[in-house]
Copies of this chain bind each other. A is one copy, B any other.
Amino acid sequence: MTKGQTDDVPTAANVLSVDAMGGDKGPATVVAGLATFLNQAKDARAILHGPVGELTPLINKHGIAGRVTVADAPDVVKMTDKPSHVLRQGKKTSMWSAIDAVRNGDAAVCISCGNTGGLMAMSMLRLRKAEGVNRPAIACLWPSRNPSGFNVMLDAGADIRADQDDLLTYALMGASYARNGLDIETPRVGLLNVGTEEHKGRAELKVAHELISNAADIGEFTYVGFVEGGDLPSAKVDVIVTDGFTGNVALKTGEGTASLIGELLRSSFKHSPLSMIAALLARGSLRRLRKRIDPRRVNGGVFLGLNHTVIKSHGSADATGVAAALHLAYRLAQNGFSDKLAARVASAASLAQDAAQEGAAENSTSTITG
């Protein structure tokens, strides 16, 4: 994409900007996932970023040349590249090109399987933070007992810190994401803590508890108060708000626990001839279970709080995982999510702060008057 910034050109809501490079499995997997997705989403188009000589044959092989434009980018951001290096040396990478396509309004949402730190740093640089956002966050989907099958948790690790105002912003952004990404009209938001009692937790959590509670009407969500780690997959909440340190540990702990249980389950079915027969018969049941908690179905950490939406797909995603991330991106693109989110946060954050200041003023008055 060599066009300059074109604020007057309307965003092409049916075009996705796809970084073909940087995933562990190479561009063939990304293009295969793209083909799967395009086959299902008939109106969708894509701009695919990477070395043109490598991508063209892949596109032709899948017969999707008519719906995909290649943006030639010779360089690749490697998994081991540090964010600082990526910012200095990244201008000719497919990642940079993919981000700039949404910056320029040629596509609605950017998707990359590349290095998370690099993608966030480059997205911050090129897309800038949305008004009212101090710390962008990564929202992830968590398998849950809710009808949609998922809860939203943020921040999953964009920033290891979050103060009370950041947590309020996360609540607003998470609610907007649940509405546009999971079709939940009035999401229920909870704040992650070590207990549900009001007196528990760190000081900033108690303040955030007040701020989020006050912002519920403006943000069109229901605030359910403090929730615990065990509530992440629960049906009593749709959006779980936490700082990126806690969120990242929780996410990896959940994944690690699921993977341990999967291993133990497989090994317990190899215990004896009878259990191997049982395993054969149980295959259907286990497949249903696997489908329900398949990490490929929840593929796609969404960067929230920038001027456009960027989705980070797992580096190890296969074609099914890439297609899942593209479907999520497309749904958000169709809903005009970026603009809705920006409007929501900008207005809600300032209103909530006004409310909080009024509340503080009232409190001090009542102290004076007894």
Q: Are A278 and B285 in contact (CB under 8 A)?
A: yes
Q: Are A160 and B285 in contact (CB under 8 A)?
A: no
Q: Are B256 and A232 in contact (CB under 8 A)?
A: yes
Q: Please name all residues of chain B whose beta carbon is closer than 8 Å to the beta carbon of A232 when the two chains form the complex.
A: 253, 256-257
Q: Are B194 and A248 in contact (CB under 8 A)?
A: yes
Q: Are B245 and A233 in contact (CB under 8 A)?
A: no
Stretch touching chain B among A15-23, A101-109, A288-296, A353-361 = A288-296
Known contacts A245-B246, A249-B228; A145 and B286 CB within 8 A of each other: no
Stretch touching chain B among A67-75, A123-131, A213-221, A269-277 = A269-277
Q: Are B249 and A234 in contact (CB under 8 A)?
A: no
Closest residue to A252 on the B side, CB-wise?
B229
Q: Please name all residues of chain B whose beta carbon is closer than 8 Å to the beta carbon of A161 when the two chains form the complex.
A: 202
Q: Number of A residues contacting the other chain (C-beta, 8 Å)? A: 58
Q: Please name all residues of chain B whose beta carbon is closer than 8 Å to the beta carbon of A255 when the two chains form the complex.
A: 229-230
Measured between alpha carbons, how far is A254 from B232 in the docked complex, in Å? 10
Closest residue to A161 on the B side, CB-wise?
B202
Say whether A258 faces chain B, with CB atoms less than 8 Å apart: yes
The main secondary structure of chain A at its interface with chain B is helix
Q: Please name all residues of chain B whose beta carbon is closer than 8 Å to the beta carbon of A201 when the two chains form the complex.
A: 160, 245
Q: Please name all residues of chain B whose beta carbon is closer than 8 Å to the beta carbon of A228 when the two chains form the complex.
A: 248-249, 252
Closest residue to A284 on the B side, CB-wise?
B275
Say whether A41 faces chain B, with CB atoms less than 8 Å apart: no
Say whether A279 faces chain B, with CB atoms less than 8 Å apart: yes
Query: A180-218: which residues lie under 8 A (CB-CB) from chain B?
Result: 192, 194, 200-202
Say whether A321 faces chain B, with CB atoms less than 8 Å apart: no
Ordered by A's residue number, 30 sampled pairs between the chains whose C-beta atoms are within 8 Å are A145-B263, A160-B194, A160-B201, A160-B202, A194-B248, A202-B245, A228-B248, A228-B252, A229-B250, A229-B252, A232-B256, A233-B260, A253-B257, A254-B254, A258-B261, A260-B293, A261-B289, A264-B292, A264-B293, A268-B285, A268-B286, A268-B292, A275-B281, A275-B282, A275-B285, A278-B282, A278-B283, A279-B282, A279-B285, A281-B282
Instruction: Identify the 4 closest CB pairs spanning chains A and B, nearest first.
Output: A229-B252, A278-B281, A230-B256, A229-B253
Q: Interface on A for B, CB 8 Å cutoff?
A: 143-145, 157, 160-161, 192, 194, 200-202, 228-234, 242, 244-246, 248-261, 263-265, 268-269, 271-272, 274-275, 277-279, 281-286, 288-289, 292-293
